[in-house]
Chain A
């Protein structure tokens, strides 16, 4: 018997008991994508703001692109440290400087996605409060309650318990499917139209704006690789869970977005969505199946938004923590709350930003759904697209530099196709960014907002150069996350 002989022993068996299988990872991944919030919140808003009928097709198309992206992503995840973070791919594939730039984009994107959610919680809770108490406070009061709850739970490091999460998630998906059936049995007088799945209905003016929202609906799916270290079979669990998650999300969203168009007909959906907003699907359900079913849906809409908020809050706080551990951000962000094991400073920063955003939107009386939820969501979506593109390129470069036994499809072809498709989508989104913001095509703000990303990239590159010159030992550890503390050797 040699000393290094690998055999399953007591240690592996004991640690494996705590590990996750495919279903658990799928649950975590889909719940971060919050199905009911997307179906009830994002989809009607997308119809309203963009006027594009082809949203269902957009979900299918992006599902296909995400699958292509995932091929290279999960393959590289087996070879990198700190696989949960996009910037780790950039740092270990392209170089540490690019890693820092990517980290800054990721911080912006995740922050935007999280902060945008404060805009939806008000309209999710309002109908219920009106129904139960006959009155409802302004949206920002509800948002502040949600904000306080999220901030507190973040500091206490309460992730929504896995079991509660699965119950919520299964009920959400069931409610969405029941609503869809209700829609299908109450088609418009003109009959059931499949116009939503017609690619021609998507590629019209405004397509880029619709795509950016749809991308935000997929946000959270990339978190599957976070579980690589904690999964039963590193080589199988995470890839399978990722593909299954993408397939479920893409199909569920596409069918539901299409079902919403059935009662009103493709011609009436934009008008219906503009008038009823996030209440659209609940009004449809109330008309088709009675108010009890609709109320259950409304309650789940609130819990879904809350769960999504907590998930994104914690994701962002952990991202900040990992960067603090590497000393890319000030080391205070790498500190742990000793009593709760929460990434304290990151969590507090998130909470502070949330307060600022809510107060500003309330003070200037801006619409929370279209101007906060949708704008921040689309901005975050644009950032996410950038991250996916950079990651795809990193995969190609990484495997070109570190040859392994992986196939060319996984290491070159699929990532290259994904990168090209993602670039096209980014281009279309930029062309339509005026529609996203609801401003005139010649407005300056439509270029300023996307322009924040290049500025973040430039600052990230500059900061990386400073680190390289002044603190080479910090520079050497970029991309390693928690492993930076151990000098990276594993």
Chain B
């Protein structure tokens, strides 16, 4: 959701953070570490494996979930959204995917991608899938869902087709669909909120 050359954000930081929070929880779901209690009125996240295979950010998310299992999904989205943007940026800088942000003339510049092609690849994959009408991989379906939920789909995808996006989301398992829906709720709340 950032320009692949300048690193400038295309999405409001608050919405991007909620989307990132959804993405991190979504990754843990895809990796089989976390699942969601779908019973009506529950919406609780359950940790099924406590070990995040060496990823410190995922590990800290897991540790939080283990420590306080009684919070509903939407509370977790709001909670992780507070810090996740900075955390993910730091992880990507450490992994040499982003250059550290520089200061020019007192103005903080955004972190820029080390390799423009690597940065552009996920979005290009989604665009290709949308153009060729091929069903994307599960991981990309989650990404499309989160783009739609944060309102970024129109800005990011070359030709955003709501029907294609809906079809991509529909193939996902129920917990991931629920995650996307709750991200959309959190985004709606952020828009309505006065602060």
Interface residues of A (CB under 8 A from B): 3-6, 9-11, 14-15, 18, 28, 84, 157, 159, 162, 226-227, 229-230, 314, 318, 321-322, 325, 334-343, 481-483, 485-487, 489-490
Q: A11-B71, A490-B41 are in contact. Are A318 and B191 (CB under 8 A)?
A: yes
Whether the Cβ atoms of B152 and A338 lie closer than 8 Å is yes
The minimal Cβ–Cβ distance linking A471 to chain B, given in whole angstroms, is: 15
| Chain A residues within an 8 Å CB radius of B14 | 341
Known interface pairs A5-B70, A338-B154. Does A489 touch B75 (Cβ–Cβ under 8 Å)? no
Least distance between B81 CB and chain A CB atoms (Å): 10
Q: Across the two chains, which residue of chain A brings its CB closest to B69?
A: A3
Q: How far is the CB of B94 from chain A (nearest CB, A)?
A: 24
In the bound complex, do residue A482 and residue B71 qualify as a contact, i.e. CB atoms below 8 Å apart?
A: no
Contact across chains for A11 and B191 when beta carbons are under 8 A apart: no
B151 on interface, CB distance cutoff 8 Å: yes
Q: Are A10 and B68 in contact (CB under 8 A)?
A: yes
B158 lies within 8 A of chain A by Cβ: no
B22 to chain A, nearest CB (A): 12
Q: In the complex the two chains form, is A490's CB within 8 Å of B43's CB?
A: yes
Task: Find the A residue at minimum CB distance from B9.
Answer: A339
Counting CB contacts under 8 A, is B82 at the interface? yes
- Asked if A229 and B189 sit within 8 Å, CB to CB, the answer is yes
Contact segment of B104-112, B118-126, B127-135, B177-185: B177-185
Chain B residues, Cβ within 8 Å of A322: 188, 192
Give the contacting residue for A481; candidates B15, B71, B151, B188; CB below 8 A. Answer: B188
Residues of B within 8 A of A487 (CB): 181
Q: 14 A–B contact pairs at CB < 8 A?
A: A10-B64, A10-B67, A11-B79, A15-B79, A28-B194, A157-B12, A230-B193, A314-B194, A325-B188, A338-B12, A338-B15, A343-B192, A482-B188, A485-B149
Structural contact, B15 and A14, CB atoms closer than 8 A: no
Given contacts A314-B194, A490-B72, 16 further A-B contacts (CB under 8 A): A9-B67, A10-B68, A11-B64, A11-B79, A14-B79, A15-B75, A15-B79, A229-B193, A336-B150, A337-B151, A338-B12, A341-B12, A341-B15, A343-B191, A482-B188, A485-B185
Q: A339–B191 contact, CB under 8 A?
A: no
Instruction: Check if B20 is an interface residue, CB within 8 A of chain A.
Output: no
Given contacts A84-B192, A230-B195, contact A336 B187 (CB under 8 A): yes
**Does residue B155 face the partner (Cβ distance < 8 Å to A)?**
yes
A342 to B189, CA, bound (A): 11
Q: How many A-B residue pairs have CB under 8 A?
A: 108
Residues of B within 8 A of A14 (CB): 79, 82
Q: Which of A157, A342, A485 contacts B188 (CB 8 A)?
A: A485
Whether B12 pairs with A489 at a CB distance below 8 angstroms is no
- Docked-complex contact A336 and B78, CB < 8 angstroms: no
Q: A439 to nearest B CB, angstroms?
A: 38
B12 touches A481 (CB 8 A): no
**Chain B residues engaging chain A, CB cutoff 8 angstroms:** 10-12, 14-15, 40-41, 43, 64, 67-72, 74-76, 78-79, 82, 149-152, 154-155, 178, 181-182, 184-185, 187-195
A340–B12 CB distance below 8 A:
yes
Q: Chain A contacts of B79 at CB under 8 A?
A: 11, 14-15
Docked Cα-Cα span, A28 to B194, in Å, equals 9
With CB as the reference atom, state the residue of chain B lying closest to A28. Answer: B194
A336, A340, A481 interface centre (most CB from chain B within 10 Å): A336
Indicate whether A341 sits within 8 Å of B191 (C-beta atoms), given known contacts A9-B68, A11-B64. yes
* Inter-chain contact B68/A342, CB cutoff 8 Å: no
- Counting chain A CB atoms within 10 Å of each CB, which of B10, B11, B182, B194 scores highest? B194
A302, chain B: closest CB distance, angstroms: 22
Bound together, the chains give a CA A291 to CA B153 distance in angstroms of 56
Residue of B nearest to A85 (CB): B192
Q: Are A342 and B191 in contact (CB under 8 A)?
A: yes
Asked if B43 and A489 sit within 8 Å, CB to CB, the answer is yes
Query: In the bound complex, do residue B155 and residue A339 qualify as a contact, i.e. CB atoms below 8 Å apart?
Result: yes
Across the interface, which residues of B come within 8 angstroms of A481, CB to CB? Answer: 188, 192
User: Which residues of the partner chain A approach B152 to less than 8 Å between Cβ atoms?
Assistant: 338
State the Cβ distance, A481 to closest chain B Cβ, in Å.
7
| Residue in A18, A325, A338 whose beta carbon sits within 8 Å of that of B11 in the complex | A338
Nearest CB of chain A from residue B65's CB, rounded to whole Å: 10
Q: Please pick, from A229, A335, A483, the residue contacting B151 in the complex, using a CB distance under 8 A.
A: A335
Closest to B80 in A: A11
- Bound together, the chains give a CA A335 to CA B152 distance in angstroms of 10
Judge whether A159 and B15 touch: CB under 8 Å: no
Partner of B78, one of A15, A157, A341: A15
Q: Which residue of chain A lies nearest to B149 when distances are taken between CB atoms in the complex?
A: A485
Minimum distance in angstroms from B186 CB to a CB of chain A:
8
Contacts of A15 in B (CB 8 A): 75, 78-79, 82
Bound: A325/B191 CA distance, A: 11
Q: Kindly name the residue among B71, B75, B193 whose own CB sees the greatest number of chain A CB atoms within 10 A.
A: B193
Whether A482 pairs with B189 at a CB distance below 8 angstroms is yes
The interface residues of chain A lying within 8 Å CB-to-CB of B69 are 3-4
A226 to B193, CA, bound (A): 8
Q: How far is the CB of B151 from chain A (nearest CB, A)?
A: 4
Given contacts A15-B78, A338-B12, contact A485 B184 (CB under 8 A): yes
In the complex, residue of chain A having the shortest beta-carbon distance to the beta carbon of B46: A3
Question: A486 CA to B179 CA in the complex, in Å?
Answer: 9
Option from A3, A10, A28, A482 in Cβ contact (under 8 Å) with B70: A3
**Which residues of the other chain, A, contact B192 by a CB distance below 8 angstroms?**
84, 226, 318, 321-322, 343, 481-482
Question: Do residues A339 and B10 form an inter-chain contact, with CB atoms below 8 A?
Answer: yes
- A227 to B150 Cα, complex, angstroms: 22
Q: Is the CB of A336 within 8 A of B185?
A: no
Q: In the complex, A10→B70 CA distance in Å?
A: 12
**Given A11-B79, A338-B15, A339-B155, A486–B184 Cβ distance below 8 Å?**
yes
B151 touches A338 (CB 8 A): yes
- What residues on A are CB-neighbors of B11 within 8 Å? 338-339
Closest to A342 in B: B191
Set of chain B residues within 8 Å of A486, measured between Cβ atoms: 74, 178, 181-182, 184-185
